[in-house]
Structure 1
Amino acid sequence: MALQFIGIDPQTGDEESPTVWVDREKRELVLQGWRPSPELEAECAALEIPGHAVGIPDTEAVVRIPARMVDMIREACDVLERADHVR
């Protein structure tokens, strides 16, 4: 898998690094963020939404991404969208 680096949270230091990548081959965004508090994770797991199972499967995770990274996430979406037009 060859990840394309999009960006890192500009307000983090060497110890923290919320990051955005794109996996063009799998057509996925790859996000690194902060672990949520146990309370937030429990709240997410407890939400009942039509068409969505309650809980968080072992193969999934909840992450927190700062809003200041929205432009990076948009850029990653654009990269994947442009790849669709090339195919």
Structure 2
Amino acid sequence: MSEIVVYELGRPGATRSTGATGPAGGVERRVRKVHAAPAAPGSRTAAGPRTLCGRDTFAMETTDWKPAEHPGAPWYPEEHASLVCPDCDAVMET
């Protein structure tokens, strides 16, 4: 099975006017939780409808991080280690 990392995003918030990055319009959505999801049937880049912990992926953002491309590294991007879903992590560790 091929897993895809998806971000559960927080509510949009105003960004600072200087040095802010994010979508146009001055709105930034911060990563709230990092989940793993199986790939959608017939796809290697789209997440399936549910994460490994059972959450709906519809409103989640797919990342470019692919666990299979990083042998020996954790399944999630290390900069978001503190935001990893414990239920997805438990499934990925088995």
Higher CA-based Rg: 1
TM over 0.5: no
